[in-house]
Amino acid sequence: MTQRHPFQNNELMFVTTNTTYRRPIFKNPAHASEAIDRLYRIQNLHPFFIFAFVIMPDHCHFLLNVPEPYTISKLMNTYKTGLTFDIGIGAFWQPRFDVRVPDNGYKTIQYIHENPVKADLASSAQEYPWSSASGKYDVTDLDWSPT
């Protein structure tokens, strides 16, 4: 079933998705790495813009823009279904996800990047390997705007 939101694309969207019962699936480095790889594989098939992300042990945060004709509901369905298959441990996602249009994209990026620090998983945002703050991943500059 596809989740319905009042906005589906062409907006800056802050997305959060959780594992069922907040199970720490992504505490396993192989699973966290696959979560990031899956995000970029989907981007290659259905182009969208990634501004920031973090893969926490029991949830993920993304700051995205999804151009038409693709939608955030389709993207998250593809992401969660594909990652479940890739990891191969059975279903582990909550069936829904949260999506909001942030008032301030820069503050949202800061929130996403500081999440591992607040959870005592890293002493700095740049130190946490499963985040766009690490500098290891290609993300779009927030100054970008659709034409």
Residue-number span of the structural domain to which 103 is assigned: 12-134
Q: Which amino acid makes up residue 128?
A: Y
For residue 1, being part of any structural domain is answered with no
Say if residue 35's pLDDT is above 90: yes
Q: Residue 70 maps to which CATH number?
A: 3.30.70.1290
Q: For residue range 81-138, what is the model confidence (pLDDT) as tens digits? A: 999 999 999 999 999 999 999 999 999 999 999 999 999 999 999 999 999 999 999 9
For residue 3, being part of any structural domain is answered with no
